[in-house]
Structure 1
């Protein structure tokens, strides 16, 4: 077990940042608070709120054994027997959990995936506040598609694999004018097949939600304001899908489109055998259902005119793919 802190103060927060060897800006981004808040903690003026206490706990538990050992040494705790040295800290012997990189992979936040060519954006490693109760959750770094999978994207997959096209494509052709609309009438199995072909995965529900909400626990991608015109939902009266780049004012903190409205996205998270989570709401949904924390799921063989998907990939996998492609081109 990693060292545990019964009550975080500025001293322990500073020690954790120093142990991770990151700046105040990087530490604030990972924790989902402002840089000013980190400065106030470290000056000793503010005790972190309970929700940030939880976030610090989560970051510490996700650190590599080396970082945990440095942290323990910095706060004067080098073994279980010395835990009494600091009344704010208790410890059990350090374990060796599988660690993940805590820093972004690569120099660019947005890249083109080398297989399907879709634009993807980096969601850095760190804590975000998940669900309706804003529970702190740590996720490793990953990339996610900026736009949902479009009909044009899916057509390339169909052509490359001879996969069955969606049922509403007459004679296997995209309906006229819908090339840049999200593909629909796809089951979870169809979405998974595309993800495998493109050397990606479907995002987990937690990855999807972090990409939609950012790290600060805001209700919608753009903040906490109830603004139905920012999304393609039932109140907008469109009654069908819209181009995936249509709602620029509703993008997430990472620049991801259509995380509310237009179409539900399939996720990899299985809720029970044969059922998977759906995220994001759709043009058929009332705005009350548009919050990214909203739960929905469906049978894996369900398909409808308001359900599509986008893909994700771990940051390490993206780096490896780009390296392989770069070597092949030389």
Structure 2
């Protein structure tokens, strides 16, 4: 059943101009984070939370939708979350050997065979491709946010701050997002309380009332990475991000993946035109 017109769980953001991008020394110019430029947006609605397993399950139960990971028969899972039997012999990409290609991993079995969603109904759905996210949005009568909308939303009304809450990663020693603590990829102290995904309402919201715009899971955006490339933009960083290699939980940070890619730290939230 389509939920067209339903804005429950969404926040209406007023249109206006903001400064997008960064020239921060901690940034990655090669990712296209800069230069800082003024962008003007119309008003729009955006989810306060990433789409959860519970919400995605309603979509699948209603439509019978089969995700890309299910069709392919496998997806990437972080090696540190797997039992030895699944790690052993699993294919790993040369450029990121902490990922294992696990047969049978998909959104209902995030760590592959034997895993499930017990206790994780309110965690963000993962192992969803860009195509899967678009299919969900079509069913829900929504769409993916543009990259500019996503960054405007993530900033929460702050101007050129590094994170959704300001410039300090842990103000007064308080963790504000779910990222890696320790030495990546071998030791995670989980000082923020989570070794994998956290509930979609974990940690305080930003100034717009939006949760987990930094860390937890990467979020798909509508935009192509660049005009001559089929990859799609991902924003926000994830529970695996660490300053030593992936300091991309900053609001201006960006990366990409092909639209059929699925992995255990990638989800999405929805947007909708206002008016």
User: What is the TM-score when the length of structure 2 is the normalising length?
Assistant: 0.68
Deviations 1:171-219 (A, max 9, x none): 9x96111100000000000000001111111001110000001342222
Report what 2:232 is aligned to. 276
Contact 2:169/2:176 (8 A) holds in 1: no
Report what 2:180 is aligned to. 234
2:14 maps to which of 124, 147, 164: 124
Query: What displacement does 1:119 show?
Result: 0.4
Query: What displacement does 1:297 show?
Result: 0.6
Matched, 1:151 2:94: no
Q: What SS class does the counterpart of residue 271 from structure 1 fall into? A: strand
Q: Where has structure 1 moved over 4 Å in runs of 4 or more?
A: 113-118
- 1:280-291 mapped onto 2 (5 Å cutoff): 280-287=236-243, 288-291=247-250
Contact 1:271/1:297 (8 A) holds in 2: yes
Q: Following the alignment from structure 1 to structure 2, what is the Cα–Cα distance between the partners of residues 118 and 179?
A: 18
- 1:1-330 mapped onto 2 (5 Å cutoff): 118-133=8-23, 134-164=36-66, 167-169=106-108, 175-215=117-157, 216-227=159-170, 229-235=175-181, 237=190, 238-248=194-204, 251-272=205-226, 273-287=229-243, 288-316=247-275
Return closer, same or farther for 1:132/1:181 CA change in 2, 3 Å cut-off: same
Deviations 1:268-324 (A, max 9, x none): 0112442110000000111532101002011111111000000001111xxxxxxxx
Contact 2:134/2:143 (8 A) holds in 1: yes
Contact 2:107/2:128 (8 A) holds in 1: no
Contact 1:150/1:180 (8 A) holds in 2: yes
Deviations 1:34-80 (A, max 9, x none): xxxxxxxxxxxxxxxxxxxxxxxxxxxxxxxxxxxxxxxxxxxxxxx
Moved more, 122-131 or 208-217: 208-217
Query: What displacement does 1:168 show?
Result: 4.5
Q: Following the alignment from structure 1 to structure 2, what is the Cα–Cα distance between the partners of residues 126 and 168?
A: 36
Q: What SS class does the counterpart of residue 175 from structure 2 fall into? A: helix
Return closer, same or farther for 1:141/1:115 CA change in 2, 3 Å cut-off: closer
Contact 2:232/2:256 (8 A) holds in 1: yes
Q: Following the alignment from structure 2 to structure 1, what is the Cα–Cα distance between the partners of residues 61 and 175?
A: 36
Q: Following the alignment from structure 1 to structure 2, what is the Cα–Cα distance between the partners of residues 267 and 118?
A: 21
Q: Following the alignment from structure 1 to structure 2, what is the Cα–Cα distance between the partners of residues 153 and 224?
A: 33
Report what 1:97 is aligned to. none
Return closer, same or farther for 1:168/1:143 CA change in 2, 3 Å cut-off: closer
Return closer, same or farther for 1:178/1:290 CA change in 2, 3 Å cut-off: same
Q: Which runs of 5+ in 2 are unaligned?
A: 24-35, 71-105, 182-188
Q: Which runs of 5+ in 1 are unaligned?
A: 1-112, 317-330
What is the total number of aligned residue pairs between the two structures? 201
Q: What SS class does the counterpart of residue 38 from structure 2 fall into? A: strand
Q: What SS class does the counterpart of residue 150 from structure 2 fall into? A: helix
Q: Following the alignment from structure 1 to structure 2, what is the Cα–Cα distance between the partners of residues 196 and 144?
A: 15
